[in-house]
Amino acid sequence: MDVARTSLPVADAACTDATASYAPDGPLPAPDDLPDGSTMAEIRERGSLVVGVSADTLLMGARNPFTGDVEGFDIDVLHAVSEAIFGDPDRLVLKVITSGERIEVLESDEVDLVARAFTVTCDRWEQIAFSSVYYDAGQKLLVPTDSTATSFDDLDGARVCAPEGTTTLASLDDHPGVVPVPATTHTQCLVLFQQGKVDAITGDDTILAGFARQDPYAKVVGEPLSEEPYGVGVRQDEVDLVRFVNAVLEQVREDGRWQDSYDKWLGDLGEATPPEPTYGREP
């Protein structure tokens, strides 16, 4: 009992605010002036920034079949980091991963960064580190255009799809009325939805907006059921890289690049301003 009592508050104290990241280490250094021995210098030495992304999440990270490029709001953030390290936004090596693989590709050293609609949580902080929040998404519902449902309460007995290994799927446990249907990827959920095998999809509004754009018979509804603050995933021990990415994000928020990218990809979701970063975490 005592052990449990003392250990719980300690864990809480380490992570009272999941969105709090490591503060930038002063202003962003020039690409040719990266600190010696830093993770960034290592990446620059290597010649490319290896990143884990989605290639099928329209608007966030999706392969444009006409150009072959992977593009979206997540990808723009990574281009900004590449620009800061190399002075060239296109030094990215993209590895397409599923949402279930986001943590393991960082832990196994396969990628430097993950930007794939990645919600910052205290649980995940125990395995990896996050940048400051670059977008505040919210979990919503995708339903057929003729549906009147606006929340889980209206979906009693309905089959609701969410991808495996995500907080979204776990969140369905809070709604005993719905039948959770897992799929390998979020896009597979859209396939099941279009085939009539599920009645609704739940997920971040960013992802659902991309689905609605691909399917004129689907709409995104409801107030955000949860807050899904997106951060860039970094390996836990690479605190210098986290600080560096945060400095990049500071710049992106201030010089209008964030707004341009938002308007280009997510403008359908309404007006938005860059989320204020929170810091205060120490390794």
Binding residues for another protein (CB under 8 A):
48, 50, 55-58, 62-66, 68, 70, 93-97, 101, 185, 187-188, 190-191, 194, 210-211, 214-215
DSSP calls for 213-237: HH-TTEEEESS-SSEEEE--EEETT
In the complex, least distance from residue 164 CB atom to another protein, rounded to whole angstroms = 14
Q: How far is the CB of 202 from another protein (least distance, A)?
A: 17
Nearest CA to 242 out of 231, 252, 251 is that of 231
Task: Decide whether 186 or 235 has the Cβ nearer to another protein.
Answer: 186
Beta carbon nearer to another protein, 6 or 66: 66
Nearer to another protein, 36 or 45 (CB): 45
Q: Which of 55, 225 has the CB closer to another protein?
A: 55
Q: What is the dihedral of CA 165, 40, 45, 255, to 10 degrees?
A: 100
Question: Which residue number, 52 or 229, has a Cβ lying nearer to another protein?
Answer: 52
Give min distance, CB of 93 to another protein, in A: 3
CB of 142 to another protein, least distance (A): 12
CB of 217 to another protein, least distance (A): 13
Exposure string for 223-239, b = 16+ CB within 10 A, e = fewer: eebeebbbbbbbbbebb
**Between residues 187 and 261, which has the closer beta carbon with respect to another protein?**
187
Contact 60, 265 (CB under 8 A): yes
State in angstroms the smallest separation of the CB of 100 from another protein.
12
The one-letter code for the residue type at 146 is D
Q: Supply the DSSP string of 177-195, one letter for each residue.
A: TSEEEEESSHHHHHHHHHT
Strands 218-221 and 233-235, by their bridges, are unpaired
Residues across the chain: 283
SS3 128: strand
